[in-house]
Structure 1
Amino acid sequence: MAEDGAAYPAGGTPSGSLQPLELLHEEAGQPRFGLPPELATAYGGDLGFTPPCVYANFVTSIDGVVALGPEYPSSGSAISGREPADRFVMGLLRACADVVLIGAGTLRATPGHRWTPDHVCPQAAPDFAELRRSLRRATRPELVVVTASGDVPTEHEALQSGALIATTVDGARRLDGRLPPTCHILTADEGSTLRMADVLAALHAQGHTVVLTEGGPHLIGHLLGEGLLDELFLTTSPVLAGRADTSRPGLIAGLELLPNRPTWTDLISARRRDSYLFLRYRLRTPRAHGGPRPALAH
């Protein structure tokens, strides 16, 4: 649910500049990292993950729209209304992760964005840095862009800052000599298709076991289709987006689950800030019947 940048007052801390989230529900026994005090105050409690873990973060309108279409760059900002609490949660979830995993479509749809904690919530940067030090994480999470075809905007600011491009042999050939020197190619499969299980296995081999994905909907569909998503953080914004003649996807694209492949979740945390809801779901045991795993082909 990446959004473009926004200005914030210099100095201060999350608890000094943001009204703390109100805790409505939390399942007992959740893993805890031991957040720095300022982050714990702003979040309304602690937060943690048990590796290996893949968790997603999205903002949605009341009527289930997560993106407004290709003609509206950075549409997550319009859906969230640039709510400071949503941006803080986005930054906090990034600060917990080894990597931030996105699809090439999300990269193209969000020009000027950088998938770092401080980009969306700069006033919390010192506390995010303290958290990452305590977790023995790198200074910032590594950005991983998934593209089977190798079609990425190589001039994007996020790539100029450095990223890992997960692609196929065909995609790597297309990108040969076009990427900034700060980028590296991860070739996870042969041919023109790409499986997310192979991408995650390659990331795990590099020690990246706590993976945040911010989509988009097609990437989430592939992760769900392969049974690889563990948790979902969903911000419900108090806005109605509507649909008419534009493509306005929901959380999942390219995969149908109901009625034959229902994927049930458990609500393990709920927080509120004014009319915004911040929900955390855990996916239940992967489906026993299995089924074919779709390959990423774009």
Structure 2
Amino acid sequence: MELLYEEAGQPCFGLPSALATAYGGDLGFTTPCLYANFVTSIDGVVALGPEYPSSGSAISGREPADRFVMGLLRACADAVLIGAGTLRATPGHLWTPDHVCPQAAPDFAELRKKLGRAAQPQLVVVTASGDVPTEHPAVQSGATMATTANGARHLEGRLPAACTVFVAGERPVLRMTDVLAALHAHGHTTVLTEGGPHLIGSLISESLLDELFLTTSPVLAGRTDTARPGLIEGFELLPNRQAWTDLISARRRGSYLFLRYRLRSSCGLGLGLSAACRKRCPT
């Protein structure tokens, strides 16, 4: 990947040399940190609709560099946070680094060992109702369900033994603040979210999202009467609420752009650390 721009003083983990070479530099995060990763078409579509399973692959064209970045961001995380809709829309998927980029699996494993992470990030599925496809291979592999008291009752006796359930707060409606607090209490302080758009909307509405990785695919998706969401659904920002970001990294591979943004609205709020506490790369 060709590095086009990087803000000086970014946190760094010291990637294994093979990963640093492929990525075009180092990568790291503050602790705790919640970061998102999405791929979008040029016209702003991130999902093609419920009738198109695994639509992210269609938007990305299964670009190897995009799949490498997906794997790398998962390899850095304690946990991967998704909504139940994303689970249903991606049958057969596993939210592990090597699932999307198997050729880099040994290097991902080396990075996770260096960071003191478990062998694989913990998959956490957010579901207020408890309505999840329990036969999904990612659930069968041992996912964590973040749900309400009613959702937990609905899931009782339906999940494989490898799964865990935690009730996030006492409210009938899930607050992502409670979900993140529960994840931190379980030791998951570096969290990647891969959506979907309604989950991202909830996270942004509560000023919880710290960073966004956005791959711009050189494709036009188009829209007719089919719902084809953008990055955020279920929460309106402009013109009454502003959520500005700062571009902190830009990379290119062919006609694909790989952009990294820091959300200004999360600076000094919620669960993040101050800049003075960050481990930074030398400039």
Shorter chain as denominator, the TM-score bin is over 0.9
| SS, match of residue 222 in structure 1 | helix
Q: Tell me the residue number matched to 1:181.
A: 161
| Identical-residue share of aligned pairs (%) | 81
Say yes or no: does 1:272 pair with 2:256.
Answer: no
- Cα deviation for residue 245 of structure 1 reads 1.3
**Aligned match for 2:178, one of 195, 198, 207:** 198
1:97-246 matches, cutoff 5 A: 97-246=77-226
TM-score (norm 1): 0.89
Q: Which runs of 5+ in 1 are unaligned?
A: 1-20, 291-298
Q: For residue 232 of structure 1, what is the amino acid of its counterpart?
A: L
Q: How many residues align?
A: 270
Q: Tell me the residue number matched to 1:281.
A: 261
Moved over 6 A (4+): none
Deviation digits for residues 257-294 of structure 1 (CA, Å, limit 9, x no counterpart)? 00110100000000000000000000014499x9xxxx
Q: For residue 89 of structure 2, what is the amino acid of its counterpart?
A: A
Q: Distance in 2 between matches of 1:225 and 1:50?
A: 21
Higher RCO (C-alpha under 8 Å, 6+ residues apart) = 2
Q: Which runs of 5+ in 2 are unaligned?
A: 271-283
Q: Do the aligned partners of residues 244 and 262 (structure 1) sit closer, same or farther apart at CA in structure 2, a change above 3 Å counting?
A: same
TM-score (norm 2): 0.94
Q: 8 Å contact 1:149–1:192 — kept in the other structure? A: no
Q: Tell me the residue number matched to 1:5.
A: none
Say yes or no: does 1:37 pair with 2:17.
Answer: yes
Q: CA RMSD in A?
A: 1.4
Q: 8 Å contact 1:60–1:237 — kept in the other structure? A: yes
Q: For residue 25 of structure 2, what is the amino acid of its counterpart?
A: G
Q: For residue 31 of structure 2, what is the amino acid of its counterpart?
A: P
| SS, match of residue 192 in structure 2 | strand
Q: Distance in 2 between matches of 1:86 and 1:70?
A: 22
| SS, match of residue 179 in structure 2 | helix
Q: 8 Å contact 2:207–2:265 — kept in the other structure? A: no
| SS, match of residue 266 in structure 1 | strand
Q: Distance in 1 between matches of 2:114 and 2:254?
A: 31
Q: Distance in 2 between matches of 1:152 and 1:59?
A: 24
Q: 8 Å contact 1:61–1:238 — kept in the other structure? A: yes
- Cα deviation for residue 189 of structure 1 reads 2.1
Q: 8 Å contact 2:125–2:145 — kept in the other structure? A: yes
